Amino acid sequence: MTRGAALRILPYSRVVGQPWVKAALELAYVAPRLGGVLISGQRGTGKSTAVRAFARMLYGGLPVTLPINATEDRVVGGWEVDALLRSEPVPQPGLIMEARGKILYVDEVNLLDDHIVNIILDVTSTGVLVVQREGLAQQAPVSFTLVGTMNPEEGFLRPQLLDRFALMVSVEAEQDRAEILRTVLRFDEAQFHRGKGRRDEFVAAGRVADTTRKKELQMARRRFYQVEVPKQLVDRCVRLAEEFQAEGHRADYVMALAARAYAAIQDEPRATADHLRAVVPMALRHRRPEVQQVGRDVWTDEDTAKMEQILRSD
């Protein structure tokens, strides 16, 4: 990825609002076993901006991106064609291998080709990348955080792919439009100054704040397994999954894992109902039976009330 493209990304700390998007991404980083984050929202709500900014903060560059023009050889791996022509068989790792331990980002994930979706499903369900094509015979364990952004107007995801995303956030248009406009214009100005070879304080201060946040998240990740998860909390996770008729078998596991990660981020020694309360909608909204029927995620005020009732029960 060219450095130029990475420099066009707004610092993560400068992204206006989006608290739940940030929370989901941070949870997935602190607890990589969660697997994936799906961000759904109308056009122009800064979904892609937030993901790219997050990746740049953590990894110093843009995320490994699966574009809509991707062919299978670039997704799973193949041969370097130029080397092959020189009679040098040099395997070329695909995007899935490049994303090991990091983020594999799919923008407009609901527009992805079925064939590529099937590959992703296979890999994320087994945790193994098997390459049997063009004379290659390889398999390797892989683990990455699948992050997808989408506009639900263009269609929803197949249930199998939906299930691979541990957490889902539904983004509404930010209320603080003025702050968004100010931020975008300020960043435009920063880009202008960068083009003239001048340093810009807006970006510099943002990068400093990003560095601080990165360290906080790294420390949270290190203390993740020291956070206690009481059995009572786990029971509540199971009950929530049952009461909301969550599809699949991962909802309760995801809730427990996410609550633990949330406690780790907040530097708490134990995951509590408060932590669980924060993550339940993200874990359940796309696992409701109604989702495939109505073609969008579902979470209402009644659902919140029902969740509260379960959390407060003995």
| Active site members | 250
Asked if 159 touches another protein (CB under 8 A), the answer is no
Asked if 192 touches another protein (CB under 8 A), the answer is yes
- Of 173 and 305, the one with the shorter C-beta distance to another protein is 173
- Of 81 and 267, the one with the shorter C-beta distance to another protein is 81
Asked if 189 touches another protein (CB under 8 A), the answer is yes
Asked if 112 touches another protein (CB under 8 A), the answer is yes
Asked if 69 touches another protein (CB under 8 A), the answer is yes
Site string for another protein, 195-234 (x = CB under 8 A): -x--------------------------------------
- Report 244-273 residues binding another protein (CB under 8 A): none
Asked if 194 touches another protein (CB under 8 A), the answer is no
Among 35, 78, 206, 281, binds another protein (CB under 8 A): 78
Token pair in block for residue 118? 């099937």
Asked if 139 touches another protein (CB under 8 A), the answer is no
Using CB under 8 A as the binding criterion, the count of chain residues that bind another protein stands at 72
Asked if 160 touches another protein (CB under 8 A), the answer is no
Among 14, 27, 40, 45, binds another protein (CB under 8 A): 45
